[in-house]
Amino acid sequence: MHLGEYLSSNLHANSPLNLARFALHAMRIKTNLFVIFALLLSAACANAQKAEAVTLQQFQKRLSEKDGKVLIVNFWATWCAPCIHELPLFEKLNKENGDVEVLLVSMDYDLDPDPTKVERFIDRKKLESKVLFLTADNPNAWIDKIEKRWSGALPATLVINPKTDKRQFVQGEVGEGQLEKLIEAVK
């Protein structure tokens, strides 16, 4: 029954009771729609990936773990165009190669310690790789503790085989096929 039929069959002239019933019915419909929309929105937010905040010490501990898969660590920032350009390569590797673990380490903290911007970026780009929000300021004071050859320029990629202790490091944007070669080099 559409609205016109409802009105003509249920609303009679001078019938405030029927008008009140109609208003109540319309209000229930609006409330139900609002509840459905709120549930859908909360489900979408619940599935959104968050950037895991880690301290430098926690991150160093993660890098030194001796078991597990080959670790691909990409240092990037939301403001870095070459970083953003290479992210699809890491996402593809993460989806297609179960023998590696991809960590995308956000270096945004030094300029903006609020991870919200990074999390919005993760949502917008639909990133599925694990994202760490490194909560260490003044990168010049600690970058050599991560990799001695690293000047601090972004992007940078570190590949570690925890079983062999072999490491490969690339400063600058990686190209198609380069990640696979780095993985082979640490086997």
Q: Same structural domain for residues 154 and 77?
A: yes
- 34 and 65 fall within a common domain: no
| 117-131 tens-digit pLDDT | 999 999 999 999 999
Tally of domains within the chain: 2
Regarding whether 113 and 77 lie in a shared domain, the answer is: yes
Query: Are 8 and 73 contained in the same domain?
Result: no
3-class SS of residue 102:
strand
Identify whether residues 173 and 123 lie together within a single domain: yes
pTM of the predicted model as reported, rounded to 2 decimal places: 0.74
Q: Give residue 27's pLDDT.
A: 57
> Given this model, what pLDDT does residue 159 score?
97
43 and 56 part of one domain: no
Residues 9 and 22 in one domain: yes
**pLDDT for the residue numbered 41:** 43
> Does residue 119 share a domain with residue 40?
no
Q: Are residues 96 and 9 part of one domain?
A: no
Tens of pLDDT, residue by residue over 95-149, are 999 999 999 999 999 888 889 999 999 999 999 999 999 998 888 889 999 999 9
- Is 38 in the same domain as 75? no
What is the per-residue burial (b if ≥16 Cβ within 10 Å, else e) of 88-126? ebbbebbeebeebbbbbbbbbbeeeeebebbbebbeeee
Mean pLDDT of 158-175: 95
Task: Show the tokens assigned to 73.
Answer: 């660590």
Q: What are the structure tokens assigned to 175, written together?
A: 């190209």
How would you class 141 by CB atoms within 10 Å of its CB: exposed for 0-12, middle for 13-18, buried for 19 or more? Answer: exposed
Residues 65 and 114 in one domain: yes
**Which pLDDT band holds residue 19 (cuts at 50, 70, 90)?**
low
CATH number, domain of 88, equals 3.40.30.10
- Residue numbers of the domain that contains 8: 3-47
Average pLDDT value over all residues in the chain? 83
Q: Mean pLDDT throughout 60-88?
A: 94
Q: Are residues 103 and 172 in the same domain?
A: yes
Dump pLDDT digits (tens) for 23-55. 555 556 665 544 454 444 444 444 457 889 999
